[in-house]
Amino acid sequence: MADKLKTVIVEDEELARNLLKSFLKSIDKVEIIGECENGFEGVKVINELKPDLVFLDIQMPKITGFEMLELLEHKPNIIFATAYDQYALKAFEYNAADYLLKPYSKDRLTEAVDKVVERIQKEGVSSDVADKVSDFPKEEYLDRIVVKDRHKIHISPVDQVRYIESMDDYVMIYTTEGRYMKQKTMKYFEAALNPNDFIRIHRSYIVKVDEINEIQQYEKESYIVILHDKTKLKVSKTGYKNLKEVLNF
């Protein structure tokens, strides 16, 4: 770590951003090197400037703070600064440096910065919170999927997802608008998607129920699912059992 913590602020509310900046300017350990109004800017600025510390709001337009973390290549220490307390326990469970609940005092902010300095002195600059936060157990099922593709960020409503295919450490997400690769596990999507709408039919496939046009026997005790566009997907024994339970046949 340099003499000061290189710090980026990601906060959509101007008043909150200005208040945070005014507090931080009086803390000698901090140097503000960037500020962003939304998660899209946050991804670009953090990956380019590689800060030691990021103050991050959670509820923001376009993409949330959690979704933004999934897209980072550089992994700084994170202090969440938010008006919502429901994510606090999970944030600490997954190694966030601190969690500031608005409105917070300058003393509370200074305490959070001191924690980061102490952590860096013990563990180094990098933090694994961005990795762990992407596997947060969701209190609600996903309603959209955010994917970074080179210099573009795609936001696909779950309603547009047709099926998902496992590809080693990645998945290919097939939607009505195209297909997108994302570094996630099938286990994650199996838990994150509404089971009334999506079925795990094979170790390699999760399919949207409304996309299924037909189920055919392929060989003895072997089946395939045929989608409305004629795509054919393998079905395992467990997958066939899941189909029977959800479709009630």
Average confidence (pLDDT) over 33-59: 94
Asked if residues 81 and 11 have their Cβ atoms less than 8 Å apart, the reply is: yes
Pairing of strands 98-101, 161-167: unpaired
Q: Where are the alpha helices (DSSP H) in the chain?
A: 14-25, 39-49, 65-70, 88-93, 106-123, 129-133, 186-192, 237-247
Per-residue model confidence as pLDDT tens digits over 225-238: 999 999 999 999 99
What value does the mean pLDDT of the chain take?
89
Q: Measuring CA to CA, which residue among 53, 45, 72, 52 is closest to residue 133?
A: 72
Per-residue model confidence as pLDDT tens digits over 119-141: 888 876 555 555 555 554 455 78
- Give the domains, in start order, of the chain with CATH numbers: 5-123 (3.40.50.2300), 144-247 (2.40.50.1020)
Average confidence (pLDDT) over 153-168: 94
Q: Which two tokens stand for residue 224?
A: 């395939």
pTM (two decimals): 0.74
Q: Measuring CA to CA, which residue among 224, 242, 243, 220 is closest to residue 233?
A: 224
Per-residue model confidence as pLDDT tens digits over 170-226: 999 999 999 999 988 999 999 999 999 999 999 999 999 999 999 999 887 789 999
Asked if residues 54 and 8 have their Cβ atoms less than 8 Å apart, the reply is: yes
